[in-house]
Structure 1
Amino acid sequence: MKYIYLSILMCLLGQASYAQFEVKGRVADLETEEPLIGVSVYYDSLGQKSGVMTDLYGNFTIQVPNREILLHFVMMGYDNKEMRSKNSSLVLMKASSIGLQEVLVTGNRDERRRDELPMAISKIGSDDIDKFKPNSLDQVLNTIPGVHMVDLGNEQHMMSIRQPISTKSLFLYLEDGLPIRPTGNFNHNAMLEMDMAMMDRIEVVRGPASSIYGSEAIGGAINLITTKPTHSPEARFGVRISDQGYARTDFKATGTQGRLGVAIGGYLARQKDGYREYSDMEKNAITANLTYALSNKTDVSAGMTWVDYRADMAGSIDSAGFFANEFKSLHRFTERDVNALRVKTRVDHRWSESGKTSFTFQYRNNTTDQIPSYRLSPRHNNGEINSNSFSSYVGLIQHTQEFNLLQGAILTGGVSFDNSPMAYEAYLIKVNKSEDGIFESYEETDSLLTDYEVDVRNMAAYTNFELKFTSRLQVSLGLRLDRFVYDYRNFLSKESFSGAPNSKDVFRSFSPRVGVIYNFTNDFGMFGNYSRGFVPPSVGELYRGVKVPELKPAKFDNFELGGWRSFLSNKLILDFAMYAMIGHDEIISVRLEDDSFINRNAGKTLHYGLEYSVKYKPVEQLALRASGSNSVHRYMEYVEKGNDFGWNEMPGAPSWIFNAGIDYRPVIVKGLKFSFEWQRVSSYFMDQENSEEYEGYNLLNARASYTFKFVEVWGNIMNITDELYATRASLSYGRKQYTPGLPRTFQVGLNINVGKRKRL
């Protein structure tokens, strides 16, 4: 009998040795607490090894032989972590200090490590945004090599990325990977429709990205990624004021309960009685993001952003007023009023560890009403009131599949549509000027300058294939096909200012990209690529003030070589990119013999340069950075009023832009931070003739903050030396025009963070 009992006992012990315990947990980013998708979670003990991947919410479920076993958490871009299974309900992973390995999503609409993307791409994280406390996005974007965002005041902007300073649709602005405005609608100032209080990070692709994102991604694509729900509840409230009349209140709250995650935030900003006369502004913005886990494989998310914005349009000033530090405005009624709504929903489904599909739908509604200062004519004492509106219905389906081919392959494909009916209406107004030339008031007329509707439809298909021939060599092939239809209906006669007849204009484009990456070591890699970008004429360029539309799409061929290298155990990181881009049929504004302007396709333009950045962190308390670009932008073929400007430099094209900074955290005072910044913009020509030149400027800025428990107080000094500078200088009708930048400005603020870990 004792042998029977002994046998039963041995069986029970044997079963116990193979008993499995279920462990569930969630993995998130240490700083943001946003879920981390695709983290490898595994154990390796006594010959038993098993692993799983985190799902779309960062959740994992793993069977372990005992509750004390050591779990390993591994993900590229993050430091490896180990934790006992019984303590792994919430695992917070720290982003790696190796900047080369950071994870980005903008390169091909999916998560990839930086060293897997054969393109010039940079990221501004939430910590940097929090450090700079920007009132306008140029204050953070200008730290990226090759990016020069021009502040026109009140969050209005111009841009320069591998192109001269411009308002043209050569830069694509995205919110969570979707264009803020549709193709064909003038996307200048699109970023003023963003909610800065809910901005988690910014990713910038430099150079054409048309093979994935389509038109307008010529100089670059800027993806503004909003805050997603965090695992633990947290909230922030902040206020700020400056001595130049700026005041702002921010709020944000986020958290997850069960399967539902919520993040909501916004801000109210006011500018009143600033350094520029007639430059007041009011802006209200709110963003809400919801996530819901239908299962461990399917995730549903929804988001909404609403912005209500109104600002005076002070216009530029002449050289006499600028150099006398008299920033007076000649206007008393010009303004811009924007109401923008974007609503999106997305379903993500992971079929397996190697395949996933996303379905996205977006609705946009936007109205911009203006009495624009740039349309006032001193010569004829008239101007216009205009209204531009659109509604958009956008759909996107994308699938990503991984293959066990050579060292690994990934195929991404998608189709999209965008149906955006637009309407534009403009009335002539008569303006009244005072004896000293100030536009004091206006009288409406019943004279319609422009009255049309355009249905803009864009159908596209794209694919991207990545193949690793070896562990170090990767090739990437991308291709996108676009078809645009502009269904134009004019409600005015052919004799009108905008007299183009009803028409249906169709534009097609084939946008390829080929890229190669070779990683010599884990901290040294290089890439090369060829890409083609395109942009069809915008609705305004094609039909406003036009009798017969004759414009063709502009195309750009870009050749690029770049690389990265880290030294001193990743304390020193170098990044660079060289490029040469040729533009064909660029759309430019040409002055005619009667001094009126018309849009025409220029022959060729040439753009080439070097972009670079250096980051050095010798000790934990000190960090140094520098980024810049040296570039040349020339007309190859360009004739205006019988003058051949071939090989002249394009106006608004500084040959050198540079930004450097020092961050310091003294050991003796925990929670105290200092940072100093130098911004340099070199001289550039103000006109096509290269007859007038603006000398450029240097700016010095300083920032400081102190955090104690959940309270942060901070202060910024912008333009420490009180330098007189213009964010933009141009020559029009023989007159120099300047947009003055901020004088020395003091700003203080207070943030209250509840439930958020202190970032010391």
Structure 2
Amino acid sequence: MARAASAGLLTGLWATVAPAAEVITVTSTREAVRLWDVPASIGVIDGRSLRETAPAHPQQVMSQIPGVAVSVTNGEGHTTAIRQPFTTAPLYLFLEDGIPTRAAGFFNHNALYEVNVPDAAAIEVVRGPGSALYGSDAIGGVVNVVTRAARSSGTGPWGAGATAEWGSFGWQRVLAEGLWTGKAAGGDNGVRVSLNRTQTDGWRNATAYERTSLGLRWDHAAGGGLRVKTIVNSTDIDQQTGANTPLPLADYMANPTRNNFAIAFRQVQALRASSEFEWDSGRTLWSVTPYARLNGMKLNGSFNLSSDPRIEDTQVRSVGLLAKVRHDMEGAWKPRLILGMDLDRSSGDRVEDALQVTRSGSGASTVFSAYTVGPRIYDYSVDFKSLSPYAHVELQPVRALRITLGLRHDALSFDMRNRLATPTTQAGTRFYGQLPQASADFSRVSPKLGATWALGKGASLFASLNDGFRTPSEGQLFRAGSAANAAEAANRARLALALKPIQARQAELGLRAQWGAVASEWVVYRLDKRDDLVSQRDLATNLSTSVNAGHTQHQGLEWSLGAPIGATWRVDTALSWASHRYIDWVTATANFSGKQMESAPSMVGHTRLTWRPDAKTQLQLEWSRIGPYWLEASNSAAFGRYAGHDVFNLRASRRLHEQARVFMRLMNLTDQRYADSASVSSNTPVFSPALPRAVYAGLEVNW
């Protein structure tokens, strides 16, 4: 159970742990409400947990929420599994203070490295579809990273803080902040600037990573109920991306530092700016948030080298507006009405150059050691527009019952213009088809229905029925991929425009309970996806193509518990059991209907045992478990399953005085060989070795 969503002693050493019934979420309705009043599965990781965990990667903190798993790819890159298998598909919506970090159709599965996770005030995760409030991509879940406001220094209007860390394999990180609070511009102000500078040599060959993030948040209360929050955040990343290189079993066990994809790299730039204007007049709250963002990436993807090697250069520029009004009406049922409108206009560019790679070896053991840049294969621009009105209604027929209803209509359009003169380009034996210009329009209505029932002060039931969807991405629509000849390439380009959105529907039932200092939550759910848009890969050739392939079903049980043990010990656990199955899944070469989905562990668990002998000292033992899963879609005994793993981590901290703290963490305590991911390549089981034992230490100082 996430720290903010678990209970603790209201006095003594655990007094800072919020009672479960008092946890606040800002993601369910885009404003602060009690979690117990929300008919949805939402996990909250608060700032204290983030500071205590000091995550070097989002994986190290996200699993504190039941049903949430994150796997390491490269640097701080990741794949995510929230009521879904581990996937890079655009099934999740990532937000920063409620604003999407990217436009629909321009998804990046590594979205959490574009935000400053270790510096956040909180992370909130909505498990399951959230399209009725947030629109496209919110199928598996919504992840909202909340920025930190300026804190009071306690000694005057100015303050500062810094955390310096050192660790194994050349790991270094500096987190710094500067603060000012005071009166100016006709009101009260809080200004916070932040820095995250991270670098590491990587533990595998040629896997270095560098990151620089800068942030500004200015909160202004002008009086008369008017509040303004302005945020500007930027991130620059330069990394060698072979850290997730899969290896055949022999190399995985005996030579895990080997990197067959040392030529791969990724360079990322992200810039976001927004100003939220909020006016509260009592029964009515008005909110308008204009925003702008820039996302850029240059990529030589390790995952492309064996099938379609290329340099990708993508740029997306966006402007948008989030507007809403919330009105509390008088009446016996205490109706609350929220009306809103989301607008987004994004302009994207994609330029790709084919690569001629130097390789040695064969199959899954192929080594890629050099490349030269070949002909240009794609060069186009895309204009994206979305217009999305929504409504949310809350009713309270009786004191214990709260009903919520929601409806959102998304109208989305893509317009592509090709800058290449020829309809088909060629690189060696591969052909790429493209149209001179093309467009795609999508319209979708997403409803939701939910209810909470208070079972006295110590328990609350909730149930919900939610729809979700996601549109095809611009790459799936306009970059159809390589083909064996010009005619097939042109065909694939035309067929890509027939892709449809994925549709999803989820039903869930949950119970939140608190008995004294013990808090727990149980949730059961069933999520069905239809018209599932997948990239189906041939295991022998490694070529893939996107199709609306069928129906998948995802169902499971999620459970969390937080409890003190005596005066100085505490246990927090988050467990989930799930089944992810192909229901109707027929391709041109195989029928996977009825099979378990690959990369879909049946069990995910995370438990922390914390000892706090006094107010200055903390020691924590952490156990993370990923259960077994199939390596490929046919569930073939010839390839078998990944056996799963259990990993133990140890963290310790000691407060030297009010303004200084030292800490350390020992990751993979037993130095176990385990895999961040496992699959099949060239008809061979392959495994991506995870971080071996690593130690980190740091000093935190605040003024």
Same fold (TM over 0.5): yes
Query: What SS does the aligned partner of 2:49 have?
Result: helix
* Counterpart pick for 1:674 among 619, 625, 641: 619
Structure 2 residue aligned with 1:513? 448
Correspondences of 1:494-513 after superposition (within 5 Å): 494-496=423-425, 497-513=432-448
Q: Secondary structure at the match of 2:217?
A: strand
Q: Which segments of 5 or more consecutive residues in structure 1 lack a partner in the other structure?
A: 1-30, 33-76, 82-93, 755-760
Q: Which residue of 1 aligns with 2:173?
A: 248
1:737 Cα deviation from its structure 2 partner: 2.4
Structure 1 residue 283, shift from structure 2 partner: 0.5
Larger radius of gyration: 1
SS at match of 1:216: coil
Deviation of 1:187 (Å): 2.1
Partner of 1:11: none
Residue 601 of structure 1 corresponds to which residue in structure 2?
548
How much has 1:746 moved relative to structure 2? Answer: 0.8
Q: Is the 8 A contact 2:182 2:190 kept in 1?
A: yes
Confirm whether residue 267 of structure 1 aligns to residue 267 of structure 2.
no
Would you say 1:237 and 2:162 are equivalent positions?
A: yes
Aligned counterpart in structure 1 of residue 699 of structure 2, from 750, 754, 757 = 750
The reply to whether residue 663 of structure 1 matches residue 610 of structure 2 is yes
1:618, 1:437 → 2: CA distance? Answer: 53
The answer as to whether partners of 2:651 and 2:664 remain within 8 angstroms in 1 is yes
Contact 1:429 1:442 in 2 (8 A): yes
The separation in 2 between residues aligned to 1:647 and 1:462, in whole angstroms, is 37
Q: Which residue in 2 is equivalent to 1:287?
A: 215
- Say if 2:562 is the partner of 1:615: yes
Separation in structure 1 between the aligned mates of residue 159 and residue 81 of structure 2, nearest angstrom: 37
Question: Separation in 2 of the partners of 1:95 and 1:238?
Answer: 22
Q: Secondary structure at the match of 1:140?
A: helix
Provide the residue aligned with 1:490 in structure 2: 418
How far apart are the structure 1 equivalents of 2:246 and 2:175?
Answer: 30
Deviation at 1:260, TM superposition (A): 2.4
Give the partner amino acid of 1:673: Q
Q: What amino acid sits opposite 2:388 in the alignment?
A: A
CA distance in 1, matches of 2:172, 2:274: 30
Query: What is the identity, as a one-letter code, of the residue corresponding to 1:418?
Result: D
Higher relative contact order (CA 8 A, sep 6+): 2
1:27 paired residue number: none
Could you tell me which of 113, 129, 147 is aligned with 2:34? 113
Secondary structure of the residue that 1:645 maps to in structure 2?
coil
- 2: CA distance between counterparts of 1:649 and 1:622? 40
**Structure 2 counterparts to residues 543-582 of structure 1, below 5 A:** 543-544=478-479, 545=481, 546-548=492-494, 549-567=497-515, 569=516, 571-582=517-528
Which moved further from structure 2: 712-721 or 447-456? 447-456
- TM-aligned CA deviation for residue 623 of structure 1: 1.3
Equivalent of 2:460 in 525, 529, 540: 525
Q: Equivalent residues in 2 for 1:287-366 (5 A)? A: 287-314=215-242, 315-351=245-281, 353-366=282-295
Query: How much does 1:480 deviate?
Result: 0.5
* CA distance in structure 2 between the aligned counterparts of 1:491 and 1:316, rounded to whole angstroms: 36
Q: CA RMSD in A?
A: 2.1
Letter in 2 for 1:116: D
In structure 1, distance between residues paired with 2:246 and 2:9: 50
Q: What is the Cα deviation at residue 316 of structure 1?
A: 2.5
Shift of 1:234: 3.5
> Residues 338 and 367 of structure 1 are in contact (CA less than 8 Å); yes or no, is this contact kept in structure 2?
yes
Q: 1:413 aligns with which of 328, 339, 346?
A: 339
1:184 Cα deviation after fit: 0.2
CA distance in 2, matches of 1:502, 1:527: 48
The one-letter code sitting in structure 2 at the alignment partner of 1:699 is V
SS of the residue corresponding to residue 654 of structure 1 reads: coil
Q: Is the alpha carbon distance of 1:350 and 1:80 closer, same or farther for their aligned partners in structure 2, counting shifts above 3 Å?
A: farther
Q: CA deviation at 1:123?
A: 0.3
- 1:591/1:383 Cα in 2 relative to 1: closer, same or farther (>3 Å)? closer
Name the aligned partner's letter for residue 652 of structure 2.
A
Contact 1:95/1:102 (<8 A) preserved: no
SS in structure 1 of the partner of residue 424 of structure 2: coil
Corresponding residue to 2:688 among 727, 734, 739: 739
CA distance in 2, matches of 1:397, 1:116: 23
- Report the AA paired with residue 215 of structure 1: S
SS in 1 for 2:576: strand
Output the amino acid matched with 2:439. Answer: K
Match of 1:372 in 2: 301
Residue 343 of structure 1 aligns with an amino acid whose one-letter code is A
Are residues 1:686 and 2:631 paired?
yes
Q: Equivalent residue of 2:266, what SS?
A: strand
Q: TM-score, normalised by structure 1?
A: 0.84
CA contact (8 A) 1:183 1:216 kept: yes
User: How many pairs were matched up?
Assistant: 658
Q: 2:119·2:175 contact (CA, 8 Å) conserved in 1? A: no
AA aligned opposite 2:530: H
Give the CA deviation at 1:96.
7.0
- Separation in 1, partners of 2:292, 2:211: 22
- 2:486 corresponds in structure 1 to none
1:74 counterpart residue number: none
Partner of 1:586: 532
Q: Is the partner of 1:623 in helix, strand or coil?
A: strand
Write the distance in 2 (CA, Å) between the matches of 1:294 and 1:188: 39
Q: CA deviation at 1:230?
A: 2.5
Among 612, 627, 640, which residue is 2:587 paired with? Answer: 640
Identity of aligned residues (%): 28
Among 317, 330, 333, the alignment partner of 1:404 is 330
Query: Which moves more between the two structures, 435-444 or 359-368?
Result: 435-444
- Does residue 392 (structure 1) correspond to residue 334 (structure 2)? The answer is no
Change (3 A) 1:595 1:295: closer
Structure 2 unaligned blocks of 5 or more: 426-431, 482-491
Displacement after TM superposition at 1:100 (Å):
2.6
Q: How far apart, in 1, do the equivalents of 2:605 and 2:668 lie?
A: 16
1:538 maps to what in 2?
473
Counterparts of residues 155-194 of structure 1 (less than 5 Å) = 155-194=76-115
